[in-house]
Amino acid sequence: MKIKAFDAVVLRKLQPEIEAALAALGRRHGITIRAGTARFRESTAELKLELAVIGGDGKSARREVEEFAKYHAMYGLEAGDLGRVVILDHEEHCLVGLAPNRPKYPIVMERLRDGKVVLCTEDVIEKITALRLLKPS
């Protein structure tokens, strides 16, 4: 595909190729590289990249997890709440971290069906903390 101008559709089509190229580079260096948000104009585009080291457990570090470790108490959460699974919109989601720099959507969940990261409002905290009463950590 020869790109003549950038728009959301073009970037969505290009994203799998970018992700594959980044994954190969990441494997070569023992890190993970994720493509983040993109901004574009007609003839230029900017793509945010997140690089993370891979720990001894084989999982890559995530900024959201680091933020959770620092700020969970501020949201009324406990350390054991990380990884808790709740039902949102009839689907299972796992709490994977916090994004306090996003005041409207600070709760970072991952939809278990497909691994899609979903940003949620603080009202999700009630569902997470209610599970503590049912299933202690």
Q: Domain segments of the chain: what residues?
A: 8-53, 63-134
Structural contact between residues 62 and 96, judged by C-beta atoms closer than 8 angstroms? yes
Residue-level pLDDT at 68: 94
pLDDT digits (tens, 9 = 90+) for 68-79: 999 999 999 999
Q: How much is the pLDDT for 44? A: 95
Residues 31-48 have pLDDT tens digits of: 999 888 889 999 999 999
Residue 29 identity: H
d(CA 31, CA 25): 8
Distances in whole angstroms, Cα of residue 45 to Cα of each of 3, 35, 40 = 12, 13, 4
Fold adopted by 63-134: SH3 type barrels. (2.30.30)
Q: Are 128 and 77 in contact (CB under 8 A)?
A: yes
